[in-house]
Structure 1
Amino acid sequence: MENTQTQPVDINGKHFKRAGFVLVLMLGTFLTIINQTLLVTALPKIMSDLAINAIDAQWLITSFMLISGIMIPASAFFLNTITNRKLFFTAMACFAIGTVICALSTTFNTLLLGRIIQAIGSGMMIPLMQTLMFLVYPAERRGEAMGLVGMVIAFSPAIAPTVSGWIVDFYNWRYLFYIILPIVGINMVLAFFFMKNIINVTKPKVDFFSIFLSSLGVGLLLYGISVAGNVGWQNKTTWISCVLGIVVIILFSSRQFKLAQPFLELRVFKSRMFTLSTIIVAIIFMTMIGSEILLPIYTQSIKGFSALQSGLILLPGAIVLGVISPIAGKLFDTYGVKKISMIGMFILTVATVPFLLLTKDTATWWIVCLYSLRMLGMGFVMMPLATAGINALPNELISHGSSINNTVRQVFASLGAAIMVGVMSASVTRYSNDYVDISLTPLLKGLNSGFMSGFILLAIAFILCFFVKSPTNVKQNE
């Protein structure tokens, strides 16, 4: 039991119990994040039921990532404009409304609308949780807090294919939303009792042009990357969208440095630790999302497994990641980030090598073990580094740091999927001219090449870890 002195306080100076507050945040974020990848294995059934093609169906996932990515940068502004309690209920209400629309949808357009409304809530919820979790724990326990954050952020999309595969194999795809809806309702009831206001609202001046530039820039960049994942980087739409997105983001960034009250405080990048940790974590997230796309392709197309069986292969790794994340957080609080991140990156990088050598005869148990080992390494490095980076910021910049951290991670996750799938597709095309068995061998070569691109990215992140300093577990400013 915590004594009164160690319990957090709200903006009125009243102590409250941390456990209920944390439970509400974690459950709400879990529900929103799991929806990012929940429909991946359900797309074939949805395509058949709603009579749509693969390109239209892909937008049910792409639109969620796109809208969520657009909303994340605005979260820091929202946190300083309205109370965190109101923002939580707003985010969950948007998500609930979107979920109802999805569950009752009978047309593609209705389902797409529901996904967009869901994504608005999700985009607000992810950085909200990270910011509140950081502030509700004392500095010496922030590794533990971020371990819990990492468990939710990484575990949710990892377990989604298993849950989705099971439901789609035995029930209608709409049950993906029916099951989530009552849990959302229960969480909102719990939030009524446990969610407290812990951030003093400063109500900064609204700069609508910054909002426009932020939404347009991130939206164009994510759209271009999404198009690249579907049709390749050589597509004209991909390059035009990505270039325009980068130009608009540069304009947005330039404007923020000129404003007395910036919409998004980019001066957080003056912290070397924050910048370095954000880059490394983003690269790791790239390879995680990319691998979670390539592995089901291997297990279903090469091994001939069902969607449920494919999801079950990923499940042990998801459980390992969920277990190790809070443990890694406690280790961070005790030993700092340097040793933990180096050990984690070494495990993650080495465990990726065998995926470069996959064959049709690779044992399933070996894949499960290797994937679980990768998740073990990821758990040791991802959230401890993110914690060290945000720990380098003063309290008033934590909301901005969380928003930027999550925005970069969202963009890099989409980029990682586009790169690894793009490399795989290009390799399949190249090797198809050299092999007689064009149905399997070129695909295997392509998958190996896709994992090779992930390995190169991890090698870069491993090298960057050598430049990470070992801050103490006491919050510091650089």
Structure 2
Amino acid sequence: MNTSGAAAAPAALDLGDVKRLPIMISLIIGAFFSILNETLLNIAFPELMIELQVTAPTLQWLATGYMLVVGVLVPASALLVQWFTTRQMFLGAMTLFAVGTLVCGVAPQFSVLLIGRLLQAAGTGLMLPVLMNTILVLYPPEKRGAAMGTIGLVIMFAPAIGPTISGLILESLHWRWLFFMVLPFAIFSIVFAFLYLKNVSKPTKPKVDVVSIILSTIGFGGIVYGFSSSGEGHGGWTSPQVYGTVIIGTISLLLFVLRQLRVKEPLMDLRAFRYPMFTLTTLLLIIMMMTLFSTMSLLPFLFQGALGLTVFASGLLMLPGSLLNGLISPLMGKLFDKFGPRALVIPGTVFLVVVMWFFTRVSVDTSKITFLVLHICMMVAISMIMMPTQTNGLNQLPQRYYPHGTAILNTLQQVAGAIGVAFFIGIMSAGQRGFLEGSSDPTLPAQQAQAMVAGVHNAFMIGFGFAVVAVILALFLKRTKAPTE
């Protein structure tokens, strides 16, 4: 047996008398509102641009920065879940999130709002691994599909419904209420978890590898920062600020990978990639997160900037797809337990390709019903892919890799989402600029609307290409079983 990383695995407690339901409720309440905040502000971006007097590429740091911090913190979570109990991790994470929510609500300017978002993200980054690792410990492989489907109500439903809730609130209230209305739920989550959340693992307190933490922070941070800066103008990819940080980030990540393969107790045990279905799962989830978060960011700009819809109408347009996505996630989990991943993921990726192609054909004359149907179809396709793929990949790992597997997936999903938002908004902004530069009168509202559509078209074409890659990867999926230790 390869014992590398074994010492780092949290020791399982006797769970014979543990009631799963209160633990699940505690985790789901906290996770829902922290993950909800990843997209809660998206539909308010046009309004925030005016009130805070910042550009779209600058404002997207409220979304990108959130996912960047989550992505930077999650690698360390594989270590933290072995140093602290389930209760300590969750209560600490939700306290950070609540403080950040309060800061956002009272923020007088963009910089303070960004600081609050980063504090919220720190709480989310520490909480997500607790959620996933607890599911792996509480449920045997043959029951994980249904359990992960329930978690899908949180991981998929929360960010999907964020724009809808935001639109409903912004129709009659100031954007600060996006945070003031979340704060009581965050506090309730802390109180409920304090009363009912039980520990499901015993800390083993492995050695802290400070060098690995530094390398992963510079690596993931540099890459995401570079992609995010590419859309802000000032030379784009030719700017030293952009390609320099990407190069530094890439070198740091390579050094991080080499170190993880050499040390006895790695921060993130990359030997999990020796399991082929886990590797395939990682690639598929990266594509799905880029598609999900970039689309959720692009559509509000399209609806409000090109179609002239209000924030309420934009949110209402995205409500049915968001609701359906959450409602069918548990069903997809049960279907996965019964039929395996291929029966869901292959049709799901093909469906996504068709939907993304139709998104490349939209215009200012496209009807609201068409956008409604396209959004519903996209959310159904993503639901068919995400949870079955993730459950299948994690099922192949031995228990000693659970903290590392969940940390790897959560890290790369958040980083992919952050890069996706920055990358696609950058493409959209570049397309807008290109159209307006060739316009006879770029100040005309009609020309600005056409410019927005042109920019979104360019972004959706790239998304279509990613979806085609996802179909190819899905063809190689196989059902997995937990290996014997």
The answer on whether the counterparts of 1:423 and 1:453 sit within 8 Å (CA) in structure 2 is no
Q: Among 286, 301, 306, which residue is 2:290 paired with? A: 286
Letter in 2 for 1:330: K
Q: Taking every aligned residue pair, what percent have the same amino acid on both sides?
A: 37
C-alpha distance in 2 between matches for 1:43 and 1:416: 17
| Cα deviations by residue, 1:218-275 (Å, 9 ceiling, x for unpaired) | 1111211221244343433121111110100111111111111111111111111101
CA positional deviation for 1:435: 5.9
The answer on whether the counterparts of 1:435 and 1:442 sit within 8 Å (CA) in structure 2 is no
Q: Among 356, 363, 366, which residue is 1:362 paired with? A: 366
CA positional deviation for 1:447: 2.0
Check if 1:325 corresponds to 2:329. yes
Range with greater deviation from structure 2 (97-106 or 139-148):
97-106
- 1:122/1:47 CA distance change after superposition, 3 Å: same
C-alpha distance in 1 between matches for 2:43 and 2:457: 22
Q: Among 474, 479, 483, which residue is 1:476 paired with? A: 483
C-alpha distance in 1 between matches for 2:308 and 2:54: 25
Q: Among 445, 459, 462, which residue is 1:450 paired with? A: 459
4+ aligned runs moved over 6 Å, structure 1: none
- Residue equivalent to 1:126: 128
State how 1:234-273 maps to structure 2 within 5 Å: 234-273=238-277
- Residue equivalent to 2:4: none
C-alpha distance in 2 between matches for 1:113 and 1:449: 32
Q: Among 77, 80, 83, which residue is 1:81 paired with? A: 83
- Residue equivalent to 1:352: 356
C-alpha distance in 1 between matches for 2:71 and 2:44: 22
TM-score in terms of structure 2 length: 0.91
Q: Secondary structure at the match of 1:362?
A: coil
Q: What root-mean-square deviation, in Å, do the aligned CA atoms of Structure 1 and Structure 2 show?
A: 2.3
Range with greater deviation from structure 2 (107-116 or 84-93):
107-116
Q: Among 439, 442, 445, which residue is 2:448 paired with? A: 439
C-alpha distance in 2 between matches for 1:155 and 1:164: 14
C-alpha distance in 1 between matches for 2:404 and 2:91: 20
Q: Secondary structure at the match of 2:201?
A: coil
Letter in 1 for 2:360: L
Letter in 2 for 1:345: T
CA positional deviation for 1:439: 2.5
Check if 1:139 corresponds to 2:141. yes
Letter in 2 for 1:66: L
Q: Secondary structure at the match of 2:416?
A: helix
- Residue equivalent to 1:403: 407
The answer on whether the counterparts of 1:393 and 1:477 sit within 8 Å (CA) in structure 2 is no
CA positional deviation for 1:109: 4.1
Q: Secondary structure at the match of 1:81?
A: coil
The answer on whether the counterparts of 2:307 and 2:449 sit within 8 Å (CA) in structure 1 is no
The answer on whether the counterparts of 1:76 and 1:399 sit within 8 Å (CA) in structure 2 is yes
C-alpha distance in 2 between matches for 1:187 and 1:344: 34
Letter in 2 for 1:444: V
Q: What is the count of residue pairs matched by the alignment?
A: 468
Range with greater deviation from structure 2 (197-206 or 33-42):
33-42
CA positional deviation for 1:291: 1.4
The answer on whether the counterparts of 1:229 and 1:417 sit within 8 Å (CA) in structure 2 is no
- 1:10/1:464 CA distance change after superposition, 3 Å: closer
C-alpha distance in 2 between matches for 1:449 and 1:107: 32
The answer on whether the counterparts of 2:306 and 2:448 sit within 8 Å (CA) in structure 1 is no
- Residue equivalent to 1:62: 64
C-alpha distance in 1 between matches for 2:394 and 2:407: 11
CA positional deviation for 1:43: 4.2
Letter in 1 for 2:102: V
Greater RCO (Cα-Cα under 8 Å, separation 6 or more): 2
The answer on whether the counterparts of 1:10 and 1:196 sit within 8 Å (CA) in structure 2 is no
- 1:104/1:148 CA distance change after superposition, 3 Å: same
C-alpha distance in 2 between matches for 1:272 and 1:16: 33
Range with greater deviation from structure 2 (116-125 or 147-156):
147-156
- 1:445/1:113 CA distance change after superposition, 3 Å: closer
CA positional deviation for 1:430: 4.2
- 1:25/1:238 CA distance change after superposition, 3 Å: same
- Residue equivalent to 1:4: none
Q: Secondary structure at the match of 2:397?
A: coil
C-alpha distance in 2 between matches for 1:154 and 1:395: 25
TM-score in terms of structure 1 length: 0.92
C-alpha distance in 2 between matches for 1:49 and 1:296: 17
Give ranges in structure 1 of 5+ residues lacking alignment. Answer: 1-8
CA positional deviation for 1:122: 0.8
Letter in 2 for 1:281: L
Letter in 2 for 1:476: P
The answer on whether the counterparts of 1:10 and 1:197 sit within 8 Å (CA) in structure 2 is no
Check if 1:311 corresponds to 2:315. yes
The answer on whether the counterparts of 2:64 and 2:419 sit within 8 Å (CA) in structure 1 is no
- Residue equivalent to 2:390: 386
C-alpha distance in 1 between matches for 2:430 and 2:179: 36
C-alpha distance in 2 between matches for 1:460 and 1:161: 28
- Residue equivalent to 1:178: 180
- Residue equivalent to 2:475: 466
State how 1:133-212 maps to structure 2 within 5 Å: 133-212=135-214
